[in-house]
């Protein structure tokens, strides 16, 4: 059974039109991550939540925002998608220590037209 | 953040063992060595992790050098399904640096 679920798997949005990607987990992990992965590149961490505390990476554009209304759900909001934001977006969860594994969703492939 | 260095790509033949190296010369005493892999068009998946001792699980083995400055992921008999990008990542056991940050990884090609 999938433990980290991302919806939708594929999303097409228009240039400049706000879009929201969602992630849910059944693991009750206190940390949730969002990554951007472009073709043939490694996943790039955008930000993560430790419980309700939001931690932004220094080079994440302001165009990307996130919400975590409760432990189970986390959302990625792209306020004004540009063509360069087309990518795979990955959600992951973990406990707040490196002694345990992290779990990833299958990703949402975002296309901007 | 402590960094890791991996070869860009490696090639193996089916049913042969594969040794994927990772260098982490700036590893700290509380950093765990994690390996994840990403199959085409899928999210990354956990493979194995360890601190000091060698580790085995159903997927692979992890051999950690005595000085912990390098490690090797061992796939005992590669299959075509093992073709993926393999990432070696350091995560602190406790404290504030628990986040998962990816390096470039090694693209493993398995030949039939």
CB pairs under 8 A between A and B: 66
Interval A2-41: pLDDT, tens: 799 999 999 999 999 999 999 999 999 999 999 999 999 9
Q: What is the C-alpha to C-alpha distance for residues B67 and A94, in angstroms, rounded to an integer? A: 27
Main-chain phi, psi angles of A73, to 5 degrees: -120, 145
On the question of pLDDT at B99 being above 90, the answer is: no
Asked if A87 has any chain B CB less than 8 Å from its own CB, the reply is no
**How far is it, in rounded angstroms, from Cα B38 to Cα A100?**
18
For A90, which of B43, B46, B91 is closest by C-beta distance? B43
Q: Is the pLDDT of residue B2 over 70?
A: no
| Cβ–Cβ under 8 Å, residues A108 and A74 | no
Over 90: is that where the pLDDT of B93 sits? no
CB-CB neighbors (< 8 A) of A94 in chain B = 98, 100
- Residue A106: list chain B partners with CB under 8 A: 42-43
Residues with Cβ within 8 Å of residue A28, at least 6 apart in sequence? A71, A72
- The reply to whether A23 touches chain B by the CB within 8 Å rule is no
Query: What pLDDT does residue A98 have?
Result: 82
With beta carbons under 8 A apart, name residues in chain B contacting A4: 43
The percent of residues in chain B predicted with pLDDT above 70, rounded, is 96
- Residues B74-83: pLDDT tens digits? 999 999 999 9
CA atoms B81, A23, A92, A81: torsion sign: positive
Structure tokens at A101: 């594994």
Residue A88 CA to residue A76 CA, distance in Å, equals: 12
**Residue bearing the bigger pLDDT, B71 or B29:** B71
B98/A94 touch (CB, cutoff 8 Å), yes or no: yes
User: Average of pLDDT values for B97-112?
Assistant: 91
């Amino acid at each position: 059974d999938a433990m980290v679920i991302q919806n939708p798997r594929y999303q097409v949005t228009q240039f400049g039109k706000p879009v929201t990607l969602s992630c849910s987990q059944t693991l009750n992990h206190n940390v949730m991550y969002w990554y951007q992965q472009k073709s043939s590149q490694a996943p790039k961490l955008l930000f993560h939540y430790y419980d309700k505390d939001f931690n932004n990476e220094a080079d994440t554009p302001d165009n990307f925002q996130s919400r975590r209304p409760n432990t189970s759900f986390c959302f990625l909001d792209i306020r004004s998608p540009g063509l360069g934001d087309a990518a795979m977006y990955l959600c992951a969860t973990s406990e707040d220590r490196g002694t345990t594994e992290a779990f990833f969703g299958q990703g949402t492939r975002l296309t901007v037209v | 953040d402590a960094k890791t260095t991996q070869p860009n790509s490696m090639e193996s033949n089916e049913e042969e063992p594969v040794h994927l190296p990772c260098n982490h010369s700036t590893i700290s005493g509380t950093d765990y060595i994690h390996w994840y892999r990403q199959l085409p068009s899928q999210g990354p998946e956990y493979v194995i992790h360890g601190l000091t001792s060698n580790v085995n699980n159903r997927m692979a083995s992890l051999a950690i050098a005595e000085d912990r400055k390098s490690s090797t992921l061992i796939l005992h008999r590669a299959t075509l399904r093992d073709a993926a990008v393999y990432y070696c990542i350091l995560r602190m056991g406790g404290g504030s640096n628990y986040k998962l940050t990816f390096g470039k990884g090694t693209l493993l090609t398995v030949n039939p």
